[in-house]
Amino acid sequence: MELRVTYISSALWTLLGSPFAFADIACDKSYGLRVDVSGRTGVVICDSSSESFVDSINDFKRSNINYTKTSAVSAFGRFNDVDLALSYAARSTKLVYAFPQLGDAGSFTGTTRKESQQMFEDYIKTSGIMGQIMNYQARHSPTSPITGAGGLVPMTIASDFNANFSDSPTAIAGPGGAGNSDNLIGVQLNYASFNMDNTSDRVKTTSIPFSYTLRNDIDPRRQLIFRVPVTYVEVGVARTIQAGLGVSYRIPLSDQWTLTPGAGYSFVESRDRASLASLYSASLSSAYVMPLGGFDLSIGNMLGYYATGRFSAGNYYSYDPDLKYVATRNGVMLSHPISLGKKLGVQYSLIDTRYLGGEKPYVDNFQELGVTLGTNPSALDARSFVRAGFTYIQGPGTRGLTANIGYWF
């Protein structure tokens, strides 16, 4: 068996006369493959799941019925939104591959083509190239499991911000030292659907964030909050799971102003999307509430740091996308009471999220316009409260709508 790996630039790959015209592949999903045999063009296998891609790599006949074990093959496609080229010379078991956008190329020579293809698959799993692939995908794809619509990073940013803004009892309260200090359990159900310009795949998320709030006996506005978000994501037919643990502490600086430092750990896993990553986060958020007659105007600001780490599990081996982001999230929320048989509150919110610095994901900013209806809680005396609402989200080439309901008791 022979293994050769070299590193080349995309420009050099072009100068070397690559026979693969990546733009010709008629596939707008994350995984695609077309196999050409002796000048006969194959059909494009296009899917949102990596399993179909792997099956096609192991059986070129899925794309081209003219393929034999001795055929000259030129194949090109896309893996996790990264271009890939493969080739065999006639009557050869030497598999030549290239990821032009990553500057990675090489070859594998087994005793059979099946063995060469297995060597290539093992290389993807064990060499660290998957980390580079996920890094590239995060910077170039709206469906990245880490940074795309419904991805781990934007979901974590929203969770960190909401802990001190929309998901907590209002910061408006009388002087500390009075009120109910019972702890709160929170359960929410959020559903979102996103459309993107560059893919026919629709992203759907179902999230169940759990929380537990410990309120200080002396000043109930001072709160230690534990959050356990669990999210199920569908990208076309592909499925992804996210989960994590976040901790934050609300510190009242006045009757209207609170600061909340927070930290968290979360992960995303998807066999269908060939992705696995962990995320460490730290944030500091501020919430200031101004009474305006019968209205309350809340101003929220947050600065957060988010970095992926190495994560290992089962046959996925160990991946590290090596992504580091600084993000800011700022919003305003207007609240006012209404009466529909009981005392309720309506909240209108406008929130902007942006990544700062040189390293940014493909969806590097997004805006949210939301409305919620529920009981009108106070940080001092709320024993339970419920909220439900809708939010419209837009970003570069991305549009989505979320529906949510939450109950704290």
Q: Using 50, 70 and 90 to split pLDDT, how confident is the model at 293?
A: confident
Q: What share of the chain is helix, strand, coil (3-state, %, to 5)?
A: 15, 50, 35
pTM of the entire predicted model:
0.90
Q: What is the DSSP string of 193-262?
A: EEEETT-S-EEEEEEEEEEEEEEPSS-TTSEEEEEEEEEEEEETTEEEEEEEEEEEEEEESSSSEEEEEE
The predicted pLDDT at position 358 comes to 86
If asked whether residues 335 and 201 sit together in one domain, one would say yes
Enumerate residues 6+ apart whose C-beta is below 8 A from 394: 366, 367, 400
Q: Is the pLDDT of residue 395 over 90?
A: yes
Q: Report pLDDT digits (tens) over 62-104.
A: 999 999 999 999 999 999 999 999 999 999 999 999 999 999 9
The predicted pLDDT at position 26 comes to 83
Please report, as a single letter, which amino acid is at residue 130. M
The predicted pLDDT at position 180 comes to 59
Q: Report pLDDT digits (tens) over 331-369.
A: 999 998 888 777 888 999 999 999 999 889 999 999 999
Q: Is the pLDDT of residue 6 over 90?
A: no
Q: Is the pLDDT of residue 246 over 60?
A: yes
If asked whether residues 101 and 180 sit together in one domain, one would say no
Higher per-residue confidence, 304 vs 220 = 304
The predicted pLDDT at position 181 comes to 66
Domain that holds residue 96: 2-127
Asked which of 82, 107, 127 is the last residue of a domain, the reply is: 127
The predicted pLDDT at position 314 comes to 59
What distances in angstroms separate CA 169 from CA 40, 377, 382, one per listed residue?
65, 5, 7
Q: Is the pLDDT of residue 173 over 70?
A: no
Would 140 be classed as within a structural domain? no
Would 134 be classed as within a structural domain? no
Q: What are phi and psi of 26, to 5 degrees?
A: -90, 70
Q: Is the pLDDT of residue 179 over 80?
A: no
Q: Using 50, 70 and 90 to split pLDDT, how confident is the model at 261?
A: very high
- C-alpha span between 273 and 135 (Å, rounded): 14
Token representation of residue 10: 């995309």
Higher per-residue confidence, 255 vs 166 = 255
If asked whether residues 236 and 385 sit together in one domain, one would say yes
Mean pLDDT of 368-391: 80
Mean pLDDT of 112-127: 91
Would 227 be classed as within a structural domain? yes
The predicted pLDDT at position 171 comes to 44
* Percent over 90 (pLDDT), the chain: 69
Q: Taking the CA atoms of 53, 58, 59 and 60 in sequence, report the sign of the dihedral they define.
A: positive
Would 93 be classed as within a structural domain? yes
If asked whether residues 198 and 101 sit together in one domain, one would say no
Note the helical H segments in 16-59. 50-58
Q: Using 50, 70 and 90 to split pLDDT, how confident is the model at 15?
A: very low
The predicted pLDDT at position 315 comes to 55
- C-alpha span between 362 and 355 (Å, rounded): 10
The alpha carbon of residue 31 and the mean position of all alpha carbons in its chain are separated, in whole angstroms, by: 18
- C-alpha span between 164 and 303 (Å, rounded): 12
Q: What are phi and psi of 119, to 5 degrees?
A: -65, -40
If asked whether residues 116 and 164 sit together in one domain, one would say no
If asked whether residues 103 and 162 sit together in one domain, one would say no
